[in-house]
């Protein structure tokens, strides 16, 4: 897409905030004008439109995309999306450990175990752990508890988690990130623990490194979006 505006500005209207491009409102895919409740988020959206190059893609506007997701997708399908995110918790990455070698087994226990302990202490959810990829059953009450936690979040937070959870394969890491206990880059490192360990043994895979960079950028944008929605 080609840039067609000179200036992006925040516009306050009726207690909410929009963004105008040379006086014309930014619109959502539905055609409705973009309006948000948080001035900080509106400023961030205006800034990313202002920084867009002469040729840009929707990927250059992550805050705008996440706002659209929150307002037009999460709002309409909230219960379904919460169920999908809770399902990740019932099959969480942190619960499936390597069978060998001993060094990797120990590393996973050290780096992942602490977050399962955090989940149990913070949310009262104890998850079972196994070695290998064969699915295991988690306590049936865990799903309801995950859904209750998620239902307590705003549509904006659900939209952000909708990026972070699939990227990491872990609802546990995503909840820790949302709570401010993990930085996005650290959550990404933990999610890629096995891959990074293999690279230390055999050398870096350039394609894998590029993929991690993309995931890390997506997670950072989602974390920033959630933070702006608290201001």
Per-residue confidence (pLDDT) for residue 205, from 0 to 100: 83
Can you read off the two tokens belonging to residue 56?
């840009």
Q: State the residue for tokens 């014309």.
A: 24
pLDDT (tens digit per residue) in 27-75: 999 999 999 999 999 999 999 999 999 999 999 999 999 999 999 999 9
Q: State the residue for tokens 């990404």.
A: 188
Per-residue confidence (pLDDT) for residue 32, from 0 to 100: 93
- Distance, CA of 154 to CA of 120 (rounded, Å): 23
Could you give the 3-state DSSP secondary structure of residue 19?
strand
Cis bond before residue 101 (omega within 30° of 0):
yes
All structural domains of the chain: 8-60 (3.30.2180.10), 65-228 (1.10.3580.10)
Per-residue confidence (pLDDT) for residue 231, from 0 to 100: 72
Q: How much is the average pLDDT of 205-224?
A: 93
Angle 193-202/206-228 helices, nearest 10 degrees? 150
Could you give the 3-state DSSP secondary structure of residue 2?
strand
Residue 206 has pLDDT above 90, yes or no: no
Can you read off the two tokens belonging to residue 69?
């997701």
Contact partners, residue 113, CB within 8 Å, separation at least 6: none
Query: What average pLDDT does the structure give for the chain?
Result: 96
User: Using only C-alpha atoms, what is the Rg of the chain?
Assistant: 20
Q: State the residue for tokens 């509106």.
A: 42
Q: Where are the beta strands (DSSP E) in the chain?
A: 8-13, 16-21, 24-25, 96-97, 130-131
- Distance, CA of 119 to CA of 23 (rounded, Å): 47
Closest to 184 measured CA to CA, from 209, 156, 160, 150 = 160
**68 CB neighbour count, 10 Å cutoff:** 21
**72 CB neighbour count, 10 Å cutoff:** 16
Single pTM value for the model: 0.94
Per-residue confidence (pLDDT) for residue 19, from 0 to 100: 97
Based on DSSP, count helices (H) and strands (E) in the chain, helices before strands. Answer: 10, 5
Per-residue confidence (pLDDT) for residue 226, from 0 to 100: 97
Q: How much is the average pLDDT of 133-144?
A: 95
Q: How much is the average pLDDT of 168-180?
A: 98
User: What's the helix, strand, coil split of the chain in %, to 5?
Assistant: 65, 10, 25
Residue 229 CB burial class (10 angstroms; 0-12, 13-18, ≥19): buried
pLDDT (tens digit per residue) in 76-131: 999 999 999 999 999 999 999 999 999 999 999 999 999 999 999 999 999 999 99
Of residues 187 and 204, which shows the higher confidence score?
187
pLDDT band (50, 70, 90) for residue 193: very high
């Amino acid at each position: 897409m080609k840039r067609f505006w000179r200036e992006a500005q925040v516009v306050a209207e009726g207690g909410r905030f929009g963004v105008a491009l040379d006086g014309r409102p930014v619109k959502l895919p539905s055609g409705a004008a973009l309006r948000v409740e948080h001035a900080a988020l509106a400023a961030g959206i205006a800034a990313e439109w202002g920084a867009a190059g002469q040729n840009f893609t929707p990927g250059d506007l992550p805050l705008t995309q996440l706002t659209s997701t929150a307002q037009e997708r999460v709002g309409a399908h909230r219960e379904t999306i919460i169920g999908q995110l809770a399902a990740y918790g019932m099959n969480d990455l942190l619960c499936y450990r390597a069978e060998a070698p001993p060094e990797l087994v120990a590393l996973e226990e050290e780096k992942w175990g602490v977050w399962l302990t955090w989940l149990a202490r913070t949310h009262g959810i104890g998850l079972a752990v196994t070695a290998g990829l064969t699915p295991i059953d988690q306590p049936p009450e865990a799903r309801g508890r995950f859904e209750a936690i998620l239902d307590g979040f705003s549509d904006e937070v659900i939209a952000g988690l909708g990026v972070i959870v699939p990227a990491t394969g872990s609802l546990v890491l995503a909840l820790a990130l949302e709570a401010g206990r993990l930085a996005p880059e650290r959550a990404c490192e933990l999610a890629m623990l096995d891959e990074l360990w293999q690279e230390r043994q055999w050398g870096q895979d350039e394609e894998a490194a590029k993929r991690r960079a993309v995931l890390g950028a997506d997670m950072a944008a989602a974390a920033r979006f959630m933070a702006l929605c608290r201001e």
